[in-house]
Chain A
Amino acid sequence: MAALLQISSVSKHFGGFTALAEVSLAIGEGERFGLIGPNGSGKTTLINCVSGSLRNESGSIVFNGEEVSRLPAYVRTRRGIARSFQIPRPFRTMSVLENLLVPSAYVAHLKDVDAEAQARDILRRIGLADKADTPSSALSQVELRKLELARAMAARPKLLISDETMAGLSGAEVEEMLKILFALNEAGITIIMIEHIMQAVMRFSQRVVCLDAGRIICEGTPASIVQNPDVQKAYLGA
């Protein structure tokens, strides 16, 4: 199975600080992939490099057979890479529905009527249908997280990166989000999940990678990762 996303020797520095050091990963089409690691290990930096918010200094990122590391973020979104933000960034002056109309227009190039229909469908699937016309500034935390996912979905992605979507949510809310992500994966979307909530990552992922200080320290099935001493050390400290 050819990798949908091939990350090879990607490095990123901020001044003297090395955020990513020669990270290499391959993610197959349709895979459910988990990315874990302590705070500051470089998880968000890695997905910023994949989505285009940041440029990697060296290495290559090949998505769907195309080298994307020199492409601006909006082009990558149009190629099929979508992401949610750790701290939700809704378009505050727009309603929930209007938030989805942005990627609909700019990625899917849908006309107004179709865009709205697609948006309402997504909102229904994600459980926000009754909030369609609410200003996005009035949403609760959970609803904002759902909006992040909904907006990513409106871009009709091949790859969806969920960045700590469940942080701070209650058990029931985590369940809700997991259900949505499973459903998206069933529909054919490859998903990379970044989470600190271990039980969510372990249940969801087929494969997990652990980052620490910008390097991959372990890769494997959820079961093997949990038992790995390096991973335990990374989280609990030396």
Chain B
Amino acid sequence: MKYWASVAALLVLAVVVALAPTNDYFFYAAFVVLQFVVLATAWNILGGYAGYVNFGAGAFFAIGAYTAVVLFKSIGAPLAVQIVAGAAVSALLGFGVGLLTLRLRGIFFAIATVAVTFVLETMMINWRYVGGATGLQLVRPPVELFGTYTRMLFVVMAIVALAAVSVARYVQDSWIGRGLRAIRDSEEAAECSGVPTLKLKLFACTISGALMGAAGAPMPMYLAFIEPASSFSLNYSVSALAMPMIGGTAHWIGPVLGALLLATIQQVVTVTISGEINVLVIGVLLVVFVVAAPDGVLGLFKRWLRSSR
């Protein structure tokens, strides 16, 4: 109950902030941070809970974006429909990739996600309807609520983020989560303990894909533009992996922490130093944490709590 009360409170807060005369830049930045919260949370459902590493979050993210574009361009679909459709298509993608490779060792699933990124980016580059390599400009529809489109997107993204975290929390605390953890700890023993490993992995992969698609779907409206290079950017794939691993993969709070931390660092570094250095920093932090602090910031915090008793 405490959880849902917090969710309601955060939602109200988001709306209040959006209606207040806050600086517009805040919403641009906050949207991006929230997007990463969703990506990191989504990644963790398969990567953290079940132990199957997705190297291609960018593909699922981009497919959500491109689905939104197709629906917007063809039938002028409203944002909510775009998001649901983006989630559905990415879910299908997750299911497909999972079906092909989740029977095999984790490394082959990981490589399959690289493959998917490659193939899909090539397809989008060659698809005129969505602008091909040069991309497509989009005209945002007018908005009454919240004044500017960006403010509205901020609230929408806040809702998606809260939904994503709630889904992750549900999976984690349910018997599904226990099964996924068993798979992660010892897949063979899990199978022999009655856990339907393939079904659970497929489920996690599908949900993970769906949420990544939901994160990507509002992107074209946010930028009023879409193109393959930035949609399939390596930054999304690396961040989706780095944020949970740095924040902590055992609990749904980890990816949120990781996203908030890293997205903030990213903003600071990009503005003060450069875009590439920013991405390098993420990579270095990933390696440092994977080696030295495998339980992430959450783990460090728990250890600090224990030692200060």
Contacts and interface: CB of A to CB of B under 8 A. Distances in A.
In the complex they form, whether A and B have CB atoms below 8 Å apart is answered with: yes
B169 interface: no
B183 to A, nearest CB: 9
Interface stretch (A15-23, A100-108, A209-217): A100-108
A102 B186 contact: no
A155 interface: yes
A72 B191 contact: yes
B257 to A, nearest CB: 19
A35 B37 CA distance: 54
Chain B: interface secondary structure? helix
Contact of B191 (A73, A91, A105): A73
Interface in A92-130: 92-94, 98, 101-103, 105-107
A106 B189 contact: no
Contacts of A52: 191-192
B285 to A, nearest CB: 23
Contacts of A106: 175, 179, 193-196
A83 interface: yes
A94 B191 CA distance: 16
Contact of B192 (A51, A93, A101, A105): A51
Interface string A25-50: 00000000000000000000000000
Contacts of B111: none
A194 to B, nearest CB: 15
Contact of A53 (B181, B185, B191, B194): B191
Interface string B195-216: 1111000000000000000000
Given A102-B179, A106-B179, A93 B193 contact: no
A53 B195 contact: no
A102 B195 contact: yes
A231 interface: no
A94 B183 CA distance: 12
Contacts of B194: 74, 77-78, 102-103, 106-107, 155
B191 A102 contact: no
A106 B191 CA distance: 10
Contacts of B197: 74
B175 to A, nearest CB: 5
Given A91-B181, A93-B181, A94-B181, A103 B186 contact: no
Contacts of B178: 98, 101-102, 105
Contacts of A77: 191-194
Interface residues of B, number: 20
Contacts of A102: 178-179, 182, 190, 193-195
B42 interface: no
Contacts of A98: 178
B188 interface: yes
B250 interface: yes
B146 to A, nearest CB: 43
Contacts of B250: 93
A91 B189 contact: yes
Given A93-B185, A93-B250, A94-B181, A74 B175 contact: no
A32 B88 CA distance: 53
B264 to A, nearest CB: 29
Contacts of B182: 91, 94, 102
A177 interface: no
B288 to A, nearest CB: 22
Nearest to B250: A93
Contacts of B191: 52-53, 72-74, 77
24 contacts: A53-B191, A72-B196, A72-B198, A73-B192, A74-B194, A75-B196, A82-B192, A85-B188, A85-B189, A89-B186, A91-B185, A92-B185, A92-B186, A93-B185, A94-B181, A94-B182, A102-B190, A102-B193, A106-B194, A106-B195, A106-B196, A151-B189, A154-B193, A155-B193
Closest CB pairs A-B (n = 3): A107-B194, A106-B194, A91-B185
Interface of B: 175, 178-179, 181-182, 184-186, 188-198, 250
